[in-house]
Amino acid sequence: MKQRAALANMEEESPSTLLLRKEAEDSVVQEELELTRRKVLDRLNDVKAKTAIFERKQAELRDTVQKNKQFIRDTDAKIETAEKKAREEVEQMNKRLEEKKLIVSDRDKYMEEKIIEEKIIAQNSQFKKYLDSVVSCPGYEEDFKGEIENLLNRHNTLKGGNAELQQQDVEVNRTLDKRREDFQREYTKLQNEQLMVNSDFHNQQMEFEKLRAEKAELESKLTSAMDAREKYQSHIGIIGMAIEQLYQRALQSCRDDRRKQAMEDHITSKFGHRDDLVLECIEERMKELVWIVEKSKMDIAKKDKEPEKEVVVDGPDEWRKHLRFSYKDVNHDNLGLSPKGDSTSFGANSSQ
């Protein structure tokens, strides 16, 4: 809206007013540009002055460094040596601390092991008393012969057998788990295959229904097309019959046998386009008849003052049994010849 208002104001103002306004705006912009240039020049001068001061200070500092270069080198070497010694001492101290921590950790570990061993010894002492009582039982004297070692051997044998049985149980369970996994995998695979087969079957069924619907639609279209074709063939037959009837009428309008034979020869064709040739003959014959009628009208107009005579011509035409017209002493010789050389008179042609 603002642009439209500005455009409307520009159209209302004169070119000289617009030119003066533009010159005023250009002068304001030029003044602002000059002010900006002056500010930039002032800033550049300040930067140059600061750069000169910095370079001077840098040169002074460089001179000072050159003068005290040897002192600085010695001081740096001393500092480096002291730092190196301090690092070595710190590393040694850290190493000693790590060794102390290891020793303390080992001591605590050994103390815990000692306590555990003491507990185990206390428990084993009770077990030893129990085993002595078991071995010395009256029923087991012949089996163990009063020795705990025999009892322990029996226990180890039974323990080994138990371990073997447990190992066999583990292997059997592993085999069972493997077979279960194989069965589950095969079952899952069969389920997936069944789902895929069901999905394919559903898709095929949908495709079958779709094809059935398309078949029904195509059959409907085919039936409609056949009906339309029969209708068109019926129309074509009717049109052919009408064309043939018109041709027979045009052929009967010719009294010259040579003209009839020329028309018959013209429509005879081995290429199958007889209807087109027949239509050409009918059109040509119609033009001839129209020319004959026009020529007759011209001759009648020349003899308007002569007494009128009435002529009745009968013809075999189905649509016109009698044709009556009046003319004044129309002579067949006065009608002339048609463009094709047919000398048939107007009255005879008109009746046919």
- CA dist 228 and 196 (Å) reads 46
The whole-number pLDDT of residue 75 equals 82
Q: How far apart are CA 203 and CA 197, in angstroms?
A: 10
pLDDT value for 146 = 63
Examine the pLDDT at 10 and tell me if it is beyond 70.
no
pTM of the entire structure? 0.28
- pLDDT band per the 50, 70, 90 thresholds, residue 308: low
pLDDT tens digit string along 252-293? 877 777 877 877 777 776 666 777 788 888 888 888 888 888
Q: CA 209, CA 207: separation in Å to the nearest integer?
A: 5
Report, as an integer, the average pLDDT of 86-94: 90
Has residue 114 got a pLDDT over 70? yes
Among 255, 256, 275, which Cα is nearest to 267's? 275
Is 352 in a helix, a strand, or coil?
coil
Confidence at residue 119, expressed as pLDDT on a 0 to 100 scale: 84
Calpha distance 42→35 (Å, rounded): 11
> Which is nearest to 347 in space by CA: 305, 298, 292?
292
pLDDT over threshold 90, residue 190: yes
Q: Which of 276, 297, 280 is nearest to 346 (CA)?
A: 297
In the structure, what pLDDT confidence band is assigned to residue 129 with cuts at 50, 70 and 90?
Answer: confident
pLDDT of residue 293: 87
Chain centroid to Cα 67, Å, comes to: 79
Mean pLDDT of 23-46: 87
Q: Over range 217-228, report the average pLDDT.
A: 91
Q: Are 267 and 278 in contact (CB under 8 A)?
A: yes
Q: Span 58-86, mean pLDDT?
A: 83
Domain locations along the chain = 31-62, 81-134, 253-351
Residue 155 binned pLDDT confidence (cut-offs 50, 70, 90): confident
Nearest-angstrom CA–CA distance, 227 and 221: 10
Q: Is 303 exposed, middle or buried (0-12, 13-18, 19+ CB in 10 A)?
A: middle
What's the whole-number mean pLDDT along residues 17-31?
82
Strand ranges (E), the chain: 309-314, 322-327
Q: Measured over all CA atoms, what is the biggest interatomic distance in the chain, rounded to whole angstroms?
A: 180
Spatial neighbors of 310 by CB under 8 A, at least 6 apart, are 324, 326
Give residue 285's pLDDT.
82
pLDDT winner (highest mean) among 141-145, 146-150, 283-287: 283-287
pLDDT at 337 over 90: no
Backbone angles phi, psi at 314, to 5 degrees: -100, 135
66 — pLDDT class (breaks 50, 70, 90): confident
pLDDT band at residue 338 under the 50/70/90 scheme: very low
Can you say whether the dihedral through the CA atoms of 11, 12, 17, 23 is positive or negative? negative
At residue 144, the pLDDT reads: 66
Measured in whole angstroms, how far is the alpha carbon of residue 306 from the centre of its chain?
91
Band of the pLDDT at 188, cuts 50, 70, 90? very high
Tell me what percent of the residues of the chain surpass a pLDDT of 90.
Answer: 19
- Quote the mean pLDDT of the chain: 77
Characterize 101-132 residue by residue with b for buried, 16 or more Cβ atoms within 10 angstroms of its Cβ, and e for exposed.
eeeeeeeeeeeeeeeeeeeeeeeeeeeeeebe
Q: How far apart are CA 128 and CA 176, in angstroms?
A: 42
| Total length of the chain | 352
So what's the pLDDT on residue 3? 57
Q: Are 348 and 317 in contact (CB under 8 A)?
A: no
